[in-house]
C-alpha cells in the first residue's frame, strides 16, 4: 500500500508537539493508531513502525513524548554496538526521568483530538501501540474511553509509582474500556515475571478484554522484525525475530478486530 509521510505539530494549549504522521493514500475514512516511542525519541525505528502500521491501512502518528524536556531529541540504531550507544542510553534515561504523568496524559489526549480532527479518520476507531517507555504510555492511554485497542510491548514501571505519581498505573486498570494486548519477554532483565503476572491479575480482576503474550526473548525483542533492514540487530541477544513476527500477527489481529 502506498503511503504518505510528513512531520506535523499537535497543539496542546501553549505547547506544539512534534509528530511523525504516516497515512495511506486515499480519502476514505480509516482507523488511527498512535505510536508511542521508546526512551530514544521518535527515531528511525519508531518511524519504521509508524510507516508499517500505515501500510496496513491505518492513519499512524508518533508524537514526541520528550517535547517538554528535550525537543527534537532522537537517537537511532547504530551498527557499531548493534543497537544504541551508551550516550543514547544515558540521555534517554535522563529525559525519561524528567517526564510527568499528567503532562504525558495531556499530550495523549491532544494527539487523540488531532487525529479526530483529520477528515480521513474514523473518530470512534483510535488505538495505540508502544514499546518500553511507550509501552507504559500505551497502558496509560488505554484508560481513556477513546482508545479502542492497545498493544503494550514490555512496558516498564507499570506496577510502580512513575512519572511523579504516587499511584501506579496498574491501579488504573479498571478504567480500561477497550481491548488491550500486552507483550513480554521471559528473559527481560528490566521487567520481572512478577510484574507482568501482577498486570494480568488486574486484567482478570476487572474483567478487562485482554491477552498477554510471553516469549522466550529479552527486552526490546520487537527489533527482530527489522533485522532484514538493520542486520546488525541480530547480534543483540535480546532480539528475537520469531517472537517479533508472532507478536506482530497479534497486533494486526487486535487492530483489525477493534478499529
Residues taking part in catalysis: 132, 188, 219
**Sign of the C-alpha dihedral computed for residues 159, 100, 176 and 38 taken in this order:** negative
Whether residue 132 contacts residue 162, with contact meaning beta carbons closer than 8 Å, is answered with no
Distance CA 24, CA 229 (A): 22
Smallest CA-to-CA distance from 226 within 33, 52, 7, 25 is with 52
Cα torsion angle, 21, 82, 234, 193, sign: negative
Which positions ≥6 away from 131 have C-beta within 8 Å? Answer: 36, 37, 38, 46, 49, 153, 154, 220, 222
Buried/exposed 239-256: b ≥16 CB within 10 Å, e otherwise = bbbebbeebbeebeebbe
User: Hey, what's the cell of 54?
Assistant: 500505515
228 CB-near residues (< 8 Å, 6+ apart): none
- Per DSSP, 160 falls in state S
Amino acid at each position: 500500500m502506498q503511503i504518505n509521510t510528513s512531520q506535523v505539530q499537535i497543539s496542546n494549549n501553549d505547547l506544539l508537539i512534534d509528530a511523525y504522521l504516516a497515512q495511506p493514500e486515499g480519502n476514505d475514512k480509516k482507523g488511527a493508531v498512535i505510536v508511542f516511542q521508546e526512551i530514544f525519541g521518535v527515531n528511525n525505528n519508531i518511524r519504521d513502525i509508524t510507516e508499517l502500521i500505515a501500510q496496513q491501512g491505518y492513519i499512524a502518528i508518533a508524537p514526541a513524548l520528550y517535547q517538554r524536556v528535550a525537543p527534537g531529541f532522537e537517537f537511532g540504531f547504530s551498527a557499531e554496538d548493534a543497537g544504541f550507544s551508551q550516550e543514547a542510553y544515558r540521555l534517554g534515561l535522563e529525559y525519561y526521568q524528567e517526564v510527568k504523568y499528567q503532562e504525558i496524559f495531556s499530550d495523549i489526549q491532544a494527539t487523540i483530538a488531532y487525529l479526530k480532527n483529520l477528515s480521513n479518520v474514523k473518530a470512534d476507531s483510535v488505538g495505540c501501540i508502544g514499546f518500553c517507555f511507550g509501552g507504559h504510555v500505551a497502558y496509560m492511554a488505554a484508560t481513556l474511553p477513546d482508545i479502542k485497542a492497545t498493544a503494550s510491548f514490555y512496558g516498564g514501571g507499570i506496577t510502580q509509582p512513575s512519572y511523579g505519581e504516587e499511584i501506579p498505573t496498574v491501579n488504573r486498570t479498571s478504567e480500561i474500556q477497550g481491548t488491550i494486548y500486552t507483550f513480554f519477554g521471559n528473559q527481560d532483565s528490566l521487567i520481572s515475571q512478577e510484574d507482568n503476572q501482577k498486570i494480568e491479575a488486574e486484567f482478570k480482576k476487572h474483567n478487562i478484554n485482554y491477552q498477554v503474550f510471553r516469549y522466550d526473548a529479552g527486552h526490546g525483542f520487537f527489533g527482530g522484525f527489522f533485522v532484514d533492514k538493520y542486520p546488525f540487530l541480530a547480534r543483540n541477544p535480546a532480539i528475537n525475530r520469531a517472537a517479533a513476527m508472532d507478536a506482530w500477527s497479534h497486533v494486526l489481529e487486535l487492530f483489525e478486530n477493534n478499529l
